[in-house]
């Protein structure tokens, strides 16, 4: 296994060393991967649930895949239903709503789909958009496009971390912290 530099973070009283990866020439990020980290998901969820409780949402919405453990735990902690927007359409999804996003880690354009069955769950309801890390905001924009089409009212956007070096960019996000982005000007485009 390759030994990588790490960036240490504290989340609701626990510490993690996140490995740093170059995602574009001269651009390095610390990668949060919550899949399999039950302790981190549980403490992050409890902290986010506390911060969201006064908003009285009716449902939670996320995009697959890495944030699924978080939204499940958050839904359990808050006693709410949740919706996962899928990246691939399946025939059983019926008349699904769709939106395009761009992934920071792959650089590829992706689709998000809301299953027809979930439209009734969120129509004319108060929802919170949830992600593990908000980087560019592309996934949030896709989720917002779909929730608008479903006639849901977004009352908050929440994440474990926001990402980037602009402190004001994500000031309206309910997050537990911010991850820096390291840019080597000599290598970046």
CA distance 70 to 73: 5
The pLDDT of 98-118, averaged and rounded, is 80
pLDDT in tens, 20-56: 999 889 999 999 999 999 999 999 999 999 999 899 9
pLDDT in tens, 126-149: 999 999 999 888 889 999 999 999
What is the model's pTM? 0.91
- The domain segmentation of the chain, as residue ranges, is 38-178
Multiple choice CATH, 38-178, 3.40.50.720, 3.40.50.2300, 3.40.50.2020, 3.90.950.10: 3.40.50.2020
């Amino acid at each position: 296994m390759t030994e990588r530099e790490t960036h240490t973070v504290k989340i609701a009283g626990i510490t993690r060393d996140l490995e740093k990866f170059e995602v574009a020439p001269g651009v390095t990020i610390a990668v949060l991967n919550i899949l399999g980290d039950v302790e981190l998901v549980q403490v992050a969820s409890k902290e986010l649930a506390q911060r969201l409780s006064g908003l009285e949402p009716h449902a939670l919405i996320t995009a697959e895949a890495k944030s699924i453990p978080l939204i499940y735990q958050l839904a359990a902690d808050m006693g709410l239903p949740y919706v996962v927007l899928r990246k691939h359409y399946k025939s059983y999804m019926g008349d699904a709503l769709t939106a395009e996003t761009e992934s920071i880690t792959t650089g590829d354009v992706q689709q998000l789909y809301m299953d027809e069955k979930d439209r009734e769950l969120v129509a004319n309801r108060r929802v919170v958009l949830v992600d593990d890390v908000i980087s560019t905001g592309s996934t949030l924009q896709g989720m917002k496009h779909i929730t608008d089409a479903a006639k849901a009212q977004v009352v908050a956007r929440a994440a474990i971390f926001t990402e980037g070096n602009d402190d004001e960019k994500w000031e309206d996000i309910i997050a537990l912290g911010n991850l820096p982005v390291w840019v080597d000007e000599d290598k970046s485009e």
